[in-house]
Chain A
Amino acid sequence: MDIFGIPIQALMGQLLIGLINGSFYALLSLGLAVIFGLLNIINFTHGAQYMLGAFCAYLMLTKLGIGYWWALAIAPVVVGATGVLIERLMLSKLYKLDHLYGLLLTFGLALIIQGIFRNEYGSSGLPYAIPEALRGGNNLGFMFLPNYRAWVVGASLVICLSTWYVIERTKLGAYLRAATENPALVQSFGVNVPRMITLTYGFGVALAALAGVMAAPIYQVSPQMGADLIIVVFAVVVIGGMGSIMGSIITGFGLGVIEGLTKVFYPEASNTVIFIIMAIVLLIRPAGLFGTQK
């Protein structure tokens, strides 16, 4: 049976692959949505922090012999700590000013971080092996599904949904959402607002680093890896709606699938289809698909 000339088996395979790519978009855009949606910081350093997570995992493996599973836990903490430093020392000074200053700062930081790593490690990328437990795969009949990719989809679904749950359904999340809407009032209740903001930024950065560690075995660990992805992730966040956590998760997965389908029917456009969708969405619903007009 053929759909538009593509056998249904091949199409199902492409949909699954689209879902897998979408899970990376979802993880990354989740961190960005948390930082932008809640803190109103346009964090252009997100791509560089994703790259730092992958490099952390690589360096831990080559210099310290620490493997993938430990890296999943340690790298986000390390990179999240650097995020906390950035927020304390630099970003917090810019809250009173226009958003654009935060954008400029984070963009500049991204260029510096990427430049330093490119100087040290070149641009060809470095090898990072898939962990033993996740090698190989299963033949599903319509395609061969590597175990590692199945793990990526599963793990990112779990992380995305639990983050959404914490922010939307728990007391801690409620404090955070209140703190960003009306910091003075929440502070007067005795909640330490600046610390919450710092930790939230650190958490968003840690999410980016986690995505980086998960990407290391399948994409090349290279200083450029973040730069290539960050533009797409911003588009995902914009389409999903800047304030909406669930919006960016759904959009991330959805756009992964659409990009996957484009690669089958018209591969030359696979780079640009997300931006075409972004343009259309912004024309029809300027606040994004799930966003609320602020």
Chain B
Amino acid sequence: MKRKLLSLLVAGACAFGASAQAQISDGVIKIGVMSDMSSLYADIGGPGSVVAARMAVEDFGAAKKGMKVEVVSADHQNKPDVGSSVARQWYDTDKVDVIVDVPTSSVALAINQLTREKGKAFLVSGAASSDLTGKACSPNTIHWTYDTWMLANGTGSAIVKTGGDSWFFLTADYAFGHALERDTEAVVTKMGGKVLGKVRHPLNTQDFSSFLLQAQSSKAKIIGLANAGGDTTNAIKGAAEFGIVKGGQNLAGMLVFISDIHGLGLPTAQGLIFTESFYWDLNDQTRAFTKRFAPLHGGKYPTMVNAGVYSAVLHYLKAVEAAKTDDGTKIIAQMKSMPTDDPLFGKGSIRADGRKIHPAYLVEVKKPAESKAPYDYYKVRTTIPAEQAFRPLADGGCPLVK
């Protein structure tokens, strides 16, 4: 009798031991892709990012490894209050472990704060503000793909070097526009250029004729577009109409995506120079990925934001497999300790301030005659190596960096 009881106790203890092995809460890894699904940034992140996340889960082979992974998505409509309440519900009720993408820096900053409070994880691919790895840096957030410093340094310095030393800014009047304008102004003045003026326009402006007129009368050589998505394309279209380039001024698109070029068409967009961290036609691996991505996304090719979501989710799942937990803070620390390697960005690493490092590419838009196929839009002018592409670790003012 005693022996039976003892063996029963031992068997029971073994059973408990077995279940303690997987500390993943409720057994499911839930990934929440939050993006602008319906407005001016929808073609930059949007449903494409959901496709990219699902592809990453599939390529990781979660099913074969016995890990249950679920991908959910939501539309934040570019509003911080909407994004925050969705994130709150995701974290509190729906047991989402990590939020991915989030273009629109104001929403990203809000979710950055919330994720830190809840101890979850946040992988930013869409948002741009360099504050996410600067004064707002957090042990629960990794900033993937790009940021305003990379754009300012890549595009800004390239343009000043070729003689564009007087600037006028058209800035989207919210967190992202202000950050991009600030970082670009710093680069321009450091290299000896001047900023002759700036005008702030509301997010999602249709008609830029009035602002372009102000830019024209400033007589600046370069009109810097510190905005993105629909705002940038509307500004470029307006500039073509008002003869800005014929009048001797040039446009600098500080944040342009391949979806914007597709919407503008090469006749209008040719000659634009800007910085990206991914292009579908870079090498065989990016091309292979694009071949699988496009049919799942209505024939549209991946933007660097979509690619960033793929890369981030892949690395996240590898970290979960290694650390055997989905506690946000621990996973982010695990991700920082492992070097990254994926078909889209190649080999890279993640710094203490949460900044992912990889090379950046200065690209120029081809002339219509030079383009042989749809989406064959870019010539890669220079490759900026990873160590130079992003703001030096010490300059960010991040409290995590000692």
| Chain A residues positioned under 8 Å from B324 (CB to CB) | none
Q: Which of B46, B201, B264 contacts A127, CB < 8 Å?
A: B264
Is the Cβ of A125 less than 8 Å from the Cβ of B233?
yes
Complex interface residues of chain A between 49 and 86 (CB less than 8 A to chain B): none
Is the beta-carbon distance between A146 and B300 smaller than 8 angstroms? no
Query: What's the Cα separation between A137 and B240 when bound, in Å?
Result: 11
Q: B210 to A14, Cβ gap below 8 A?
A: yes
A292 located at the interface, meaning its Cβ lies under 8 Å from any Cβ of chain B in the complex: no
- B202 near A: Cβ within 8 Å? yes
Pick the most buried of B40, B204, B298: most chain A CB atoms within 10 A of its CB.
Answer: B40
Task: Indicate if the CB atoms of A146 and B242 lie closer than 8 Å.
Answer: yes
Residues in A whose Cβ lies below 8 Å from that of B205: 270-271
Instruction: Tell whether, in the assembled complex, residue A219 and residue B206 are in contact, meaning their CB atoms are under 8 Å apart.
Output: yes
Q: Contact between B237 and A264 (Cβ–Cβ < 8 Å)? A: no
Please indicate the chain B residues that have their CB under 8 angstroms from the CB of A122 in the complex: 42-43, 259, 298, 300
State which of B6-14, B95-103, B211-219, B285-293 sits at the interface with chain A.
Answer: B211-219
A6 to B226, CA, bound (A): 23
B318 on the A face (CB < 8 A):
no
The answer for the CA separation of A62 and B300 in the assembled complex, in Å, is: 18
The residues of B that contact A267 with a CB separation of less than 8 Å are 173, 199-202, 210-211
Distance in angstroms between the alpha carbons of A25 and B100 in the assembled complex: 40
Residue A123 CB within 8 A of the other chain? yes
Given A10-B217, A146-B241, residue A220 in contact with residue B233 (CB < 8 A): yes
Known A122-B42, A268-B173; contact A127-B263, beta-carbon cutoff 8 A: yes
In this complex, what residue of B is CB-closest to A136? B243
* Chain B residues closer than 8 Å to A129, beta-carbon distance: 267
Answer yes or no: A46 CB below 8 A from chain B CBs.
Answer: no
> Would you call A220 and B242 a contact (CB within 8 A)?
no
Question: Interface residue tally of chain A, by bracket?
Answer: 35 or more
Q: Provide the bound-state CA to CA distance between A143 and B241, in Å.
A: 13
A224 vs B41: C-alpha distance when bound (angstroms): 11
Complex CA gap A260/B173 in Å reads 17
Q: Which of A15-23, A34-42, A90-98 contacts B (4 or more CB under 8 A)?
A: A15-23
**When each residue 218-241 of chain A gets 1 if its CB lies under 8 Å from chain B and 0 otherwise, what string results?**
111010110011000000000000
Verify A143–B201 contact, CB threshold 8 A.
Answer: no
Q: Is the CB of B247 within 8 A of A144?
A: yes
Whether the Cβ atoms of B241 and A130 lie closer than 8 Å is yes
Are B206 and A123 closer than 8 Å at their CB atoms?
no
A75 to B191, CA, bound (A): 52
**Interface members, chain B 338-384 (any A CB < 8 Å):** none
Beyond A149-B241, A268-B173, whether A124 also contacts B230 by CB under 8 A is yes
CB-CB under 8 A from B201, the residues of chain A are 263, 267-268, 270
Measured CB to CB, the nearest residue on chain A to B206 is A219
Q: Are B210 and A124 in contact, with the CB atoms below 8 A?
A: no
Is B234 an interface residue, CB under 8 A from the partner?
Answer: yes
Q: Is B38 in the interface zone, CB < 8 Å from A? A: yes
Shortest CB distance B172–A (Å): 11
B325 in the interface (beta carbon within 8 A)? no
- Beta-carbon contact of B173 and A123 below 8 Å: no
Asked if B238 lies at the interface with its beta carbon under 8 angstroms from chain A, I say: yes
Interface presence of B209 (CB below 8 A)? yes
A229 partner residues in chain B, CB cutoff 8 A: 206
Q: State the CA gap A7–B217 with chains docked (Å).
A: 10
Least CB distance, A106 to chain B, in whole angstroms? 19
- Residue from B200, B216, B230, B260 in contact with A268 in the complex, judged by beta carbons closer than 8 Å: B200
- 14 extra interchain contacts, Cβ-Cβ under 8 A, other than A18-B210, A218-B238? A7-B217, A14-B213, A124-B43, A124-B230, A127-B263, A129-B267, A146-B242, A148-B241, A219-B207, A222-B230, A224-B40, A229-B206, A260-B210, A271-B205
9 example contacts (A-B, Cβ-Cβ < 8 A) are as follows A14-B210, A123-B42, A124-B229, A146-B243, A149-B241, A219-B206, A219-B237, A224-B40, A271-B202
Give residues in B with beta carbon < 8 Å to A. Answer: 38-40, 42-43, 46, 173, 199-202, 204-207, 209-211, 213-214, 216-217, 229-230, 233-234, 237-238, 241-243, 247, 259-260, 262-265, 267-268, 298, 300
